[in-house]
Amino acid sequence: MGQLIISDLDGTLLDHHSYDWRPAEDALAAARAAGVPVVLCTSKTRAETHWWQRELGLEGMPCIVENGGAVAWGTSEVEGLGVPYGQLRQVLRECAVEADCPVRGFGDMGLEEVMRLCELPADQAERARQREWDEPFVVDQDPEGLLVAIRKRGLSWSRGGRFYHIHGKNDKAESARRVIARFGRRGPVVSMGLGDGLNDATFLQVVDIPVLMPSATIEALRRMVPQGRVAAAPGPEGWAAAVLAFLAEAGIDQ
């Protein structure tokens, strides 16, 4: 029986504020040494996610980007599942007018604003702006009317740790299913998923072992994924403990 790890980034493998991942370094090395794939599943762009794969030693692995808008099978094969970015931007503008709810999407923001809101340096913020299938946005009032208008147009929305997002009917779950199925061609796999945001709930519901990272939304996430295990700590410390326990349960020496 093989093992597979599917993980969110911000607030999960990365510290929510500092983006530090070093407390998870030993656990990442243990998974790599055991040949256990770690697939990133994030709202980040392809450009951002490939950069993080290099930083984390996960080059060549598949990754799920922009809330399931696409699965990148390495750096050359991209399976797009979402609605093109320009179309999302147009619909968001229409919905904002209809709902009388002003919004600011990434496409409305300059580099410095993205840097401030995401707490990112300039190079990483520039990669975050390279959207293809998902538009993060902020609102300063109750967005219910806006979200209803999005749904009326056949699109979807989700909420992550920092932003609301408009996207197609794609979600992290469908992309995770495709990743699990492809790795399952080699033989049966046990999948573990780790996430902290409400937009992680869908993919956490399709893995064998869902791990919920402590955060401000943990109670809501527990209601959405009642079978989930709660990690011992938030961010990379809790991620490391959960991954090492998963490897130990599989009988993998560390």
Kindly state which CATH superfamily the domain 2-81+171-249 is placed in.
Answer: HAD superfamily/HAD-like (3.40.50.1000)
What are the catalytic residues?
8
**Domain map of the chain by residue range?**
2-81+171-249, 85-167
Residue 186: the pLDDT is 86
- DSSP one-letter code for 14: B
- Residues in the chain with pLDDT values less than 70: 254
Residue 251: the pLDDT is 81
Q: How many other CB atoms sit within 10 Å of the CB of residue 59?
A: 11
Task: Give the model confidence (pLDDT) of 5-29 as tens digits.
Answer: 999 999 999 998 899 999 999 999 9
Distance CA 227, CA 142 (A): 31
Residue 254: the pLDDT is 62
The CATH class of the 85-167 domain is alpha beta
Residue 93: the pLDDT is 97
Q: State the pTM of this model.
A: 0.90
Q: DSSP of 177-227, one letter per residue?
A: HHHHHHHHTTS-EEEEEEE-SGGGHHHHTTSSEEEEPPSTTHHHHHHHSTT
Residue 65: the pLDDT is 96
